[in-house]
Amino acid sequence: MELLDNLFLGLSVAVSLQNLAYAFLGCMVGTLIGVLPGIGPVATIAMLLPITFHLPPTAALIMLAGIYYGAAYGGSTTAILVNLPGESSSVVTCLDGYQMARNGRAGAALSISAIGSFFAGTVGTIIIVIFAEPLTRMAQKFGPSDYCSLMALGLVAAVVLASGSVLKAIAMVFLGLLFGLVGTDVNTGAQRFTLDIPELSDGIDFAPIAMGLFGIAEIVVNLERHLTRSGTIKVTSLWPTREEARRAWPAILRGTALGASLGVLPGGGPTLGAFSSYTLEKKISKTPEIFGKGAVEGVAAPEAANNAASQTSFIPMLTLGIPSNAVMALMVGAMIIQGIQPGPEVMTKKPDLFWGMIASMWIGNLMLVIINLPMIGMWVKLLTVPYRFLAPAILLFCCIGAYSLQNSTFHVYQVAIFGVLGYVFSRLGCEGAPFLLGLVLGPQMEEYFRRAMLLSRGDPMVFVQRPISLGLLIATAALLVLMALPSIKKAREEAFQEEG
């Protein structure tokens, strides 16, 4: 009964005119950046963080959430029609989606993608509703040592599930932790790593780092790329055949289950869900040779997986305050900008925000089906705009947004510096996501560690004396051991083999 009351509260918040407008805006912007290659939800949300400072907290988070799962929808449109993924999680959709389009089944591929995305998004939201309250109640029993161990597990899992080199991912996490230490020590009041720059006494602002690392760096990297576009394919009927529907539904169900599971894990998210589900479908298929030649399962499963993962990745962020990927780290940053402490207290102290955001996901998923299918022609025409014209506008937007935070040119300099740093990371093959997770979790991890040590009077055994903390540390150690096993290394490489 309490759950129904919470859902009614959430719906009453989500259907307000203001929140509906921001949900629609988020879905539209998400679809737009999903369609346009080379921008992505991380860069877009990073650039929009300064705007959220001037919005009501619920409206701001609803809009950012819409951008995130909207990008997963939009990326599939261009992947299918012009063989150009607008978003990283749509890379795998190109393999069979474009081949279906070339075989005259573009409409069927688009409708199966939209249906699979809507179904997976709806299931993902139901999973949030079911598990949010029990997880929040469990989190309220956590002590400082438990939280510290949980964050250690999150950072290790982010390394395991990051694509690319494990050593580089570890280095990026530690680098993020170091940047998180810049500022004033809360306990002693001493300045740490500020280089005698007064503006750094409160630490490095989250928004300029995100904007530079993902926004500016992404622009430069994309200007270096020569994006080739295949000829646009016309869409006729949107209805799949009975045979296509029969083969698609089991793949959608499997993709939804796998994506929902991987979305909760730190470092998981839509990209890993899409690649893993495609690999699974190919392995269990009786006719694996048809994959890459227009297999409907190769469209249905990844699209369901990436949308399910997009939804369930909100679970650890909303209930525990632990971001599971780069976008969720940005969402945590948006909450901090609004003066909200992420974690289990959000549900008890701000139930309207918590349940309003969850209810808006159902509305957002419905909006996305309406936005995507009837407006396919318009989205494809946007691809005719050269990226070199979009880049200066994005750059200007970043600078204006950074300056507007505190009307300070220092933030603009920060964006530029982290833009250069992000470009260097890209050239070295280092992911920005582990850096961002280290940056967000580092200060919190330090705070909980020191609090635990103060309460235990300096006894480090407090981390193994509490059952929750001990269990989390054992899980962390198990992950470290698994990471070294050859079979795990091979499975990890296979999950991302198509991405390269």
pLDDT tens digits along 473-482: 998 888 777 7
State yes or no: pLDDT of 416 exceeds 80: yes
For residue 499, the model assigns a pLDDT of 45
State yes or no: pLDDT of 268 exceeds 70: no
Which pLDDT band, with edges at 50, 70 and 90, does 196 fall under? confident
Domain ranges of the chain: 2-495
Two structure tokens written together for 348: 């008890």
Q: In whole angstroms, what is the distance from residue 222 CA to residue 231 CA?
A: 21
Residue 42 CB burial class (10 angstroms; 0-12, 13-18, ≥19): buried
Q: Of 351, 360, 311, 373, which Cα lies nearest the Cα of 74? A: 373
Determine the 3-state secondary structure of 480 from DSSP. helix
State yes or no: pLDDT of 260 exceeds 70: yes
Q: In whole angstroms, what is the distance from residue 310 CA to residue 312 CA?
A: 6
pLDDT-above-70 percentage for the chain: 86
Provide the mean pLDDT of the chain.
79
Average pLDDT over residues 73-98: 74
For residue 172, the model assigns a pLDDT of 87
Q: In whole angstroms, what is the distance from residue 28 CA to residue 372 CA?
A: 9
Which pLDDT band, with edges at 50, 70 and 90, does 500 fall under? very low
pLDDT tens digits along 393-402: 777 877 777 7
Which pLDDT band, with edges at 50, 70 and 90, does 51 fall under? confident
State yes or no: pLDDT of 158 exceeds 80: no
pLDDT tens digits along 438-458: 887 788 888 888 888 888 888
For residue 173, the model assigns a pLDDT of 86
Average pLDDT over residues 362-371: 84
Average pLDDT over residues 96-110: 82
For residue 382, the model assigns a pLDDT of 67
pLDDT tens digits along 13-42: 888 999 999 999 988 888 887 777 656 677
Q: In whole angstroms, what is the distance from residue 316 CA to residue 299 CA?
A: 28
Are 80 and 34 in contact by the 8 Å Cβ rule? The answer is no
Q: Of 210, 144, 192, 204, which Cα lies nearest the Cα of 452? A: 144
Q: Of 317, 320, 343, which Cα lies nearest the Cα of 331? A: 317
Residue 416 CB burial class (10 angstroms; 0-12, 13-18, ≥19): middle
For residue 498, the model assigns a pLDDT of 46
Give the dihedral sign, CA 94/29/368/54: positive
For residue 227, the model assigns a pLDDT of 53
For residue 148, the model assigns a pLDDT of 87
Other C-beta atoms closer than 10 Å to the C-beta of 241 total 12
Average pLDDT over residues 495-500: 49
Q: In whole angstroms, what is the distance from residue 452 CA to residue 354 CA?
A: 28
Determine the 3-state secondary structure of 142 from DSSP. coil
pLDDT tens digits along 314-343: 888 888 777 777 788 888 888 887 878 777
Instruction: Calculate ∠ Cα 435-260-472, nearest 5°.
Output: 55
Residue 139 one-letter amino acid: A
For residue 236, the model assigns a pLDDT of 61
State yes or no: pLDDT of 205 exceeds 80: no
Q: What is the residue-wise DSSP string for 167-190?
A: HHHHHHHHHHHHHHT-EE-TTT--
Q: In whole angstroms, what is the distance from residue 9 CA to residue 17 CA?
A: 15
pLDDT-above-90 percentage for the chain: 3
Other C-beta atoms closer than 10 Å to the C-beta of 167 total 10
Instruction: Calculate ∠ Cα 347-349-355, nearest 5°.
Output: 35
pLDDT tens digits along 206-233: 778 877 887 788 778 777 765 555 555 5
Contacts of 390 (CB under 8 A, 6+ apart): 36, 39
Other C-beta atoms closer than 10 Å to the C-beta of 206 total 22
pLDDT tens digits along 232-259: 555 666 677 888 888 888 999 999 998 8
Give the dihedral sign, CA 387/435/153/350: negative
Q: In whole angstroms, what is the distance from residue 50 CA to residue 58 CA?
A: 15
pLDDT tens digits along 132-150: 778 777 777 788 888 888 8
Average pLDDT over residues 272-288: 82
End-to-end CA distance of the chain: 49
